[in-house]
Amino acid sequence: MLLTGLAMLALDVPGGPMQATVHRDPITDRVTASAELLNDGHRLVLSCEPARYRSMQVRLHSRHWFRHGRTLTGRRRLTFRFDDAAPRRTAWRVRDHDAQLAGRRQISAFIGWLMSSELLVVRATDIEGTAFDMYFPLAGVNEAVTELRAACEGQPAAQ
């Protein structure tokens, strides 16, 4: 926790709490919901759209161009770390400035870690091969994720 606090002080960039936005279509009653965390030009976005996807989606939008994913899969491994936990590497679908976490189990685990942490750091590689880090102080994440889950609960799942 001490390292997390020091890292957050060293950032010296504003990070507001994550806020959820819920939209219900007036004709079909389909729900779409998202929560966004913006920090230093990078965004972490959680979303759910039960009519299209079976699980929540996790996306990163970077101010840098990501190094391209593998030719056949479009995936690239990104390293992330929650608080003082060991770093983890998982496959993300990468395109231009966007990366989307792949796999329901990975998404579920990621959201669990997100809800029990104070800081997320993601290390990626830009299109020129230079590593860069994205820092996300996780204020308000629990409330936003709880609101997303509540909004999407009971909606028809994707077929």
CATH of the domain at 71: 2.60.40.1880
Mean pLDDT over 14-21 rounds to: 72
Gap between the Cα atoms of 120 and 84, Å rounded:
10
Whole-number pLDDT of residue 82: 97
pLDDT at 153: 73
DSSP letters spanning 88-107: EEEEEEEETTEEEE--HHHH
Structural domain includes residue 92: yes
What's the helix, strand, coil split of the chain in %, to 5? 20, 40, 40
Question: pLDDT higher for 147 or 122?
Answer: 122
Residue 159's pLDDT is 46
Residue 135 has a pLDDT of: 96
Tell me: pLDDT of 68 over 70.
Answer: no
Query: What is residue 73's predicted lDDT score, i.e. its pLDDT?
Result: 61
Domain count, the chain: 1
Tell whether the model's pLDDT for residue 12 goes beyond 60.
no
Q: Provide the whole-model pTM.
A: 0.79
pLDDT for 71:
53
Residue 158 lies in a domain: no
Residue 21 domain flag? yes
Residue 149 in this model has a pLDDT that exceeds 90: no
Task: Give the domain extent around 12.
Answer: 2-152
Mean pLDDT of 15-39: 85
In a domain, 159, yes or no: no
Task: Read off the pLDDT of residues 112-125 as tens digits, 9 standing for 90 and up.
Answer: 999 999 999 999 98
Q: How many residues does the chain have?
A: 159
Kindly give the interhelix angle for 104-115 and 141-152, rounded to the nearest 10 degrees. 140
Residue 45 covered by a domain: yes
**106 pLDDT higher than 70:** yes
pLDDT at 3 > cutoff 50: no
The pLDDT value given to residue 31: 85
